[in-house]
Amino acid sequence: MDSEPQRMTASWLTLLMPSQRKELVLFGLIFLEMGGNAVLLYASKYHDVPIIVNISGRFALERGIEGRLGKNFMMRINKDGYIDVKNRKGELEYRVARASLEDRLSTDTLFSSRAISKDCRVLTIHGAKDEIVPAEDALQFAANIRNHELRIIAEANHRYTGHEEELVSLVLGFLRSHLHQGTSRLRPKL
């Protein structure tokens, strides 16, 4: 899993603001699903993000692949070097390269979770009725990340249908409760 796009974004934002004679402080990262794994990897590697919000992140990265890529996906990706993922209408949604799949399968989420600084506050929100990523993945994040808060929304599915306001309320409440502290020693080291 590559954390460099997040690093580049943080660098770009930090460089942009001084030109306006303002200081930008990277105060947190919010992510959904697979983007979350890259953000967790970023936090485990750079130790400069004081707040992370993980929404429906997948802990067990080896799960869910066959459902998206189809049966015999390893044989097909080894043969062709990629797999095209199509929607129900048969239209191309995205292409998965062999290197990307290997990257996902080699990412150690347990190690990355445990490597996140104790000064980084992490909130995981998950729907109890998530049909894509099981809520047990959220429990794994909670068990392995220091300074972690877990919120399970009882009736929420993967898209939080009918629970959008509760989701937003949890995220904003977490950010508000930790932004005022401003004492985290975590700051971007660019």
Q: What average pLDDT does range 82-100 have in this prediction?
A: 93
Instruction: Tell me, yes or no, whether 113 lies in a domain.
Output: yes
Give pLDDT, residue 49: 83
Residues 71 and 149 in one domain: no
Q: Could you tell me the CA-to-CA distances from 156 to 59, 60, 78, 124, 174 in Å, in that order?
A: 18, 20, 37, 14, 19
Position 34 scores a pLDDT of: 59
137 in Cβ contact with 55 (< 8 Å)? no
Residue 64 pLDDT grade (very low, low, confident, very high; cuts 50, 70, 90): confident
Q: Count how many domains the chain has.
A: 2
What pLDDT was estimated at residue 48? 83
Rounded to 5 degrees, φ, ψ at 85 are -100, 125
Query: Are 30 and 111 within one domain?
Result: yes
* Least confident window among 14-23, 74-83, 156-165: 14-23
What pTM does this model have?
Answer: 0.77
Residues 114-149: tens digit of each pLDDT: 999 999 999 999 999 999 999 999 999 999 999 999
Domain of 12 in residue numbering reads as 4-61+107-179
Do 117 and 140 fall into the same domain?
A: yes
Check: CB of residue 137 under 8 Å from CB of residue 126: yes
Are 73 and 24 found together in one domain? no
Distance CA 42, CA 9 (A): 12
Angle formed by the axes of helices 33-46 and 4-16, to 10°? 70
| pLDDT value for 12 | 41
Whichever domain contains 30, its CATH number is: 3.40.50.1820
Specify whether 88 is located in the same domain as 111: no
* C-alpha to C-alpha distance for 172 and 151, rounded to whole angstroms: 13
pLDDT tens string 19-33: 444 454 555 667 665
**94 and 116 assigned to the same domain:** no
- Give the integer Cα–Cα distance in Å for 2 and 93: 21
